[in-house]
Amino acid sequence: MGATDKARRAAAGMAGVALATAGLSNCDGIGAVDPPPPPLQCSDVNAGQNLFAQAVRNDSTVLVTIQNFAQGGLTAASITDTTGPVRLLLVNGPSPETSRGLMLVFHVLDFQVPTATFTLNATFQISDGPECTITRTFTLDLSGGGVTVTSDRADPLPLGSRAPAAIALEERRGHEVELEATTEYAGRWKASWTVSAGTIDDPGARRVRWTLPEEPGVYQAELLVDYGPDGLAVDTVMLEVRPV
């Protein structure tokens, strides 16, 4: 009996042998392919990447709202290193009422000086993860009687976020599938979808319904997640319509 015959007999002799030729039949030995980074880490929030600030001004009072967009919440916060023509009057939060964010109230002392800065030092509890420290400096632009709040981005180079996006397949009904965009990105993001064929009900929604063509073939949905200045992430899903 030759080598091949012996192997074939051995294979056929095992109950329930399945013909497995698959993408990963040899992944065990691929070796050094590094996986993408894990979900949210302290390094994703240490520089306050998860925070978004807005400000409104009422004459000599400036209200700054700092919102968190990451999975988790601020657990403590303090404001330090305030410079320029403002004095901190009130820190409200972090608390469930502020959605684990903060409200700050400043009093404008000098209408002639256009900019002020303050630094937020906080601790942030990642959901099902570690507690992290956050430090971020914000700048208030008080010129022209209004106010805007900005902050140097944590990473001066483009595409700073490596948070992957992933498509979750939620439901299948006939030729319709429901897909949902997911990401662990800590800030604000928006989704956009394109498909190689068929129709998609709302290409800008996070959850969409994709109606596949009747014709057999492999079709692709592509999700592009826009992280604003922090970059973008892409994922694709390919589904096959087979003959009835």
Cβ proximity to another protein, 46 vs 92, nearer residue: 46
Q: How far is the CB of 126 from another protein (least distance, A)?
A: 9
Cβ proximity to another protein, 61 vs 196, nearer residue: 196
83 close to 202: Cβ distance less than 8 angstroms: no
Q: How far is the CB of 1 from another protein (least distance, A)?
A: 8
Q: How far is the CB of 165 from another protein (least distance, A)?
A: 8
Q: How far is the CB of 110 from another protein (least distance, A)?
A: 34
CA distance 80 to 95: 20
DSSP characters for 15-46? TT------TTTTGGG----PPPP-S--HHHHT
213 close to 200: Cβ distance less than 8 angstroms: no
DSSP characters for 220-233? EEEEEEE-GGG-EE
Cβ proximity to another protein, 108 vs 221, nearer residue: 221
Cβ proximity to another protein, 102 vs 195, nearer residue: 195
Cα 195 to chain centroid distance, Å, stands at: 22
Residues in the chain: 244
Cβ proximity to another protein, 92 vs 211, nearer residue: 211
Residue 83 host element (H or E): strand 72-83
Q: How far is the CB of 103 from another protein (least distance, A)?
A: 29
